Chains A and B, each alone.
Chain A
Amino acid sequence: GEDVEQSLFLSVREGDSSVINCTYTDSSSTYLYWYKQEPGAGLQLLTYIFSNMDMKQDQRLTVLLNKKDKHLSLRIADTQTGDSAIYFCAESMRSGSARQLTFGSGTQLTVLP
């Protein structure tokens, strides 16, 4: 079955690094995503990683994928107050349902000044 799990809350100081973790269960997942949602807004695609990659870096964002443990993490370097939001991890499966995303429950990131 499909299940994506995330911790609900994370609080960091401005300037520190944030690490948001996610575990998934479907080993056939093709792509894994990180989305950001600010209050009253839709979902913003931050980054994604293909399942045959271990790491992807995009400016302040680093995604690490451990396929063996089915663990995905998002590291935000030099976290700013504007990074405060809910972060969703999502997976999509190979073929047919390639664009059906299964989301985690979201991690509320609070950045303290």
Chain B
Amino acid sequence: KAGVTQTPRYLIKTRGQQVTLSCSPISGHRSVSWYQQTPGQGLQFLFEYFSETQRNKGNFPGRFSGRQFSNSRSEMNVSTLELGDSALYLCASSLSQGTYEQYFGPGTRLTVT
């Protein structure tokens, strides 16, 4: 069974631009969570989607948004990029709401210049 896939793997953007990252969960998994990893703040929870609905949101500004499609694939969007948004963005999938095993993808490395 294929793992969690994230595209693109690397991205370079300029301050003020916007970016969309994509995540395809493991086949059959319906829940997707997003995390931001930076050297300074570590791993921080962004949001979680299940059945196309955002179920939980971390403490991030409104510039960070996401959505989930009927096939469970998810996208996250960051608008008006800031230098501090440079990070590894990780997506995790799990079977369903309440399932305790989360499997992570390889991440998208975003660099904002």
Contact = CB atoms under 8 A, between A and B. Distances in A.
Interface in A61-113: 88, 90, 92, 96-106
Interface in B39-83: 42-43, 45, 48, 56, 58
Nearest to B32: A99
Contacts of A35: 104
Given A42-B104, A45-B102, A100 B42 contact: no
A23 to B, nearest CB: 15
Contacts of A53: none
Contacts of A42: 4, 6, 90, 104-107
Given A42-B107, A99-B33, A100-B33, A105 B100 contact: no
Given A45-B104, A99-B99, A100-B58, A88 B43 contact: yes
Contacts of B33: 99-101
Given A43-B90, A88-B43, A105-B42, A99 B48 contact: yes
Q: Pick the most buried of A42, A88, A102: most chain B CB atoms within 10 A of its CB.
A: A42
A100 B90 CA distance: 13
A30 interface: yes
For the residues of B in contact with A, the DSSP-based class is strand
A101 B45 contact: yes
B98 interface: yes
For the residues of A in contact with B, the DSSP-based class is strand
Interface of A: 30-31, 35, 41-45, 48, 50, 88, 90, 92, 96-106
Interface of B: 4, 6, 31, 33, 35, 42-43, 45, 48, 56, 58, 90, 92, 94, 97-107
10 closest A-B pairs by CB: A103-B43, A43-B104, A42-B104, A42-B106, A31-B100, A42-B107, A100-B45, A105-B42, A42-B105, A98-B98
25 contacts: A42-B6, A42-B104, A42-B105, A42-B106, A45-B101, A45-B102, A45-B103, A48-B101, A88-B43, A90-B43, A92-B100, A97-B56, A98-B98, A99-B31, A99-B33, A99-B92, A99-B100, A100-B33, A100-B56, A100-B58, A101-B43, A101-B45, A101-B92, A102-B45, A104-B42
